[in-house]
Chains A and B, each alone.
Chain A
């Protein structure tokens, strides 16, 4: 393996926490979704790295499924965002507080 696995994992960790920071810091629904995508991709990267490290095919297969699932998830969540925007006139997460206890 050209790149040492530790580097890949470190990049994945950085990506993951960047995604997390994006989710926590931003208030726009779209930016939160993007953060979630970044975190998913970080997880995928770790899987691919692990797959290469142990010379097993499972991790890569898993990543393929992950991509398919993510595309489906993104399409649904974007549709929801569009719907919310049409209904409430906003995409700021903090404006949706009807579920307050």
Chain B
């Protein structure tokens, strides 16, 4: 089998994306849509076809040398290994389903060529991140997904709000990207190579302090893309984009890029206990923070956005606990059920004719029973109900934390358990408010196209059965994913594992009962009061950023502009120019235009010259 075929995986979406970008506007919409779906479907098919290349040590293949200067070698290299292959399959597979959904969703929109071209370019950039062995290629993908995310959030840029959300996402993630760039430069300075596999191979030889610093920089870089504390404010606003974009970029793939990055560098990061603890701490804090916010949101998509943030926090927690396979496991199951939830939410909004406040929705069960069952199944996965994919992946994280021991990790386990309870609570709250009762908005709304309904089914099934990927031994499974990734599975006593499973069950049950008691016949509308308001606004994170970062920066900018540029520099220049001008005014009087004055001047000049000559000759 030709190894170079691996390059068709990222290049197929690029090709169709470029075709759509260049001439999509002249092509019929059907052709544009077909091209877009073809691009990602070819990728998915190629990943499956080339799967054998990932076994063993994986396959590394060079397309050409991108840049070369002294010791700096930048070959375009793909590393298709045990970590990249499942991730690439997930990205391209979920993208294919979401592209199909998008065809239905975007039916009435005008700029479909732009939309689908950007979507394909996004998949290309994401696959670059997933497959790249060369860090510069990885960074290209990293920036590429950022750009596509920006352009797609602001897809309806006619409204200022959407464009502002896109800008915010771009700028906040850019803060993280700066740290990632620093980490990459430091890695090159320390190891002299940009190849990821080579860096991981010689990571053990680096000094411990360097590893810790690089690990923390990588964490900050990952935080930006994955919307973790403190760079998380952009994600809820990113919901201004079309729903397929939210499902693809802001739930299934791009926000998990940070987790993937940390997993990709896991051999390096695992060497530094400090970096691991920082990762776990950030993950736990974000998971808790986002879960509390999700419990008070009013818009259906914002609930899901905060829950995404919270779940990605769980993945960070897993990486920090040293359980890379648990993180990837949760990443996969989360991608499936969260994409299904987002697309379900898109269907709900579509049915309700654009209404997206959960307090005004309701009775969706009667409107579309199929949608209810799909959404319900995906929500059960999110809540972590037993035997769903989400249950097993969350359990794997708990087991990793418990296996670590020590007060720090047990404290994190406590936070994670409380977050799991909140997760179950807000998930069932959403479910009750949207689907139960008789809806207020039954009269209007659209009929759902078939393409918006059936892509949900495979995703939900994958979410429900995702546990089979990595079934722990006590449930009779073989931990396939952990073995595939070559991770050392945590060896907990069976009793402890059963205890954790029971704990999860109890958490889900109590979350469900709490939500059922509170929201089953809830008619009071949005909650008032300080605490719900505080949570709804995300702990006032936006105004905190405004106060701590934006306002001082604005003052600095105003000082630089008014205080330094306009007053000092412009003032000095103006003064100089005015002096010259005034001097010129005086000099102007000399040019009287009278011949007699000029002649007088000549005579005086002559007198001076003669006097000078006289003085010098006499002297």
Contact surface of A with B, Cβ cutoff 8 Å: 20, 23-24, 27, 29, 32, 93-94, 96-101
Contacts and interface: CB of A to CB of B under 8 A. Distances in A.
Chain B binding surface SS class: helix
B599 interface: yes
A99 B594 CA distance: 8
B581 to A, nearest CB: 14
A101 B603 contact: no
A101 B600 CA distance: 17
A32 B593 contact: no
7 contacts: A20-B606, A24-B600, A24-B603, A93-B596, A97-B594, A100-B591, A101-B593
Given A20-B603, A24-B603, A98 B593 contact: yes
Contact of A32 (B588, B599, B606): B599
B557 interface: no
A100 B588 CA distance: 9
A99 B596 CA distance: 13
B599 to A, nearest CB: 5
B450 interface: no
Contact of A100 (B592, B596, B599, B606): B592
B549 interface: no
Nearest to B604: A24
A94 B591 contact: no
A29 B594 CA distance: 12
Nearest to B590: A101
B593 A93 contact: no
Contacts of B595: 29, 32, 93-94, 96
Interface in B414-455: none
A62 B516 CA distance: 123
Contact of A23 (B589, B594, B599): B599
A87 B606 CA distance: 33
A94 B594 contact: yes
Interface of B: 588-596, 599-600, 603, 606
B590 A24 contact: no
B289 to A, nearest CB: 74
Nearest to A99: B593
Nearest to B606: A20
A30 to B, nearest CB: 13
A94 B588 contact: no
Contacts of A20: 603, 606
A101 B588 contact: yes
B279 to A, nearest CB: 76
Contacts of B592: 97, 100-101
Instruction: Give the residue among A29, A32, A93 with the most B Cβ atoms within 10 A.
Output: A93
Given A20-B606, A99-B591, 5 more contacts: A20-B603, A23-B603, A94-B595, A94-B596, A100-B592
A23 B596 CA distance: 8
Nearest to B600: A24
Contact of A97 (B589, B593, B606): B593
A93 B593 CA distance: 10
A29 B588 CA distance: 25
Contacts of B603: 20, 23-24
A100 B589 CA distance: 8
A93 B588 contact: no
Contacts of B606: 20
B271 to A, nearest CB: 80
Contacts of B588: 101
Contacts of B599: 23-24, 32
A64 to B, nearest CB: 26
Contacts of A32: 595, 599
B604 to A, nearest CB: 10
Contacts of A101: 588-593
Nearest to B602: A23
Contacts of A23: 599, 603
Interface-central residue, B588, B592, B596, by most chain A CB under 10 Å = B596
Contacts of A97: 592-594
A17 B208 CA distance: 96
A94 B589 CA distance: 16
Contacts of A94: 594-596
Contacts of A93: 594-596
Nearest to A26: B596
A48 B593 CA distance: 37
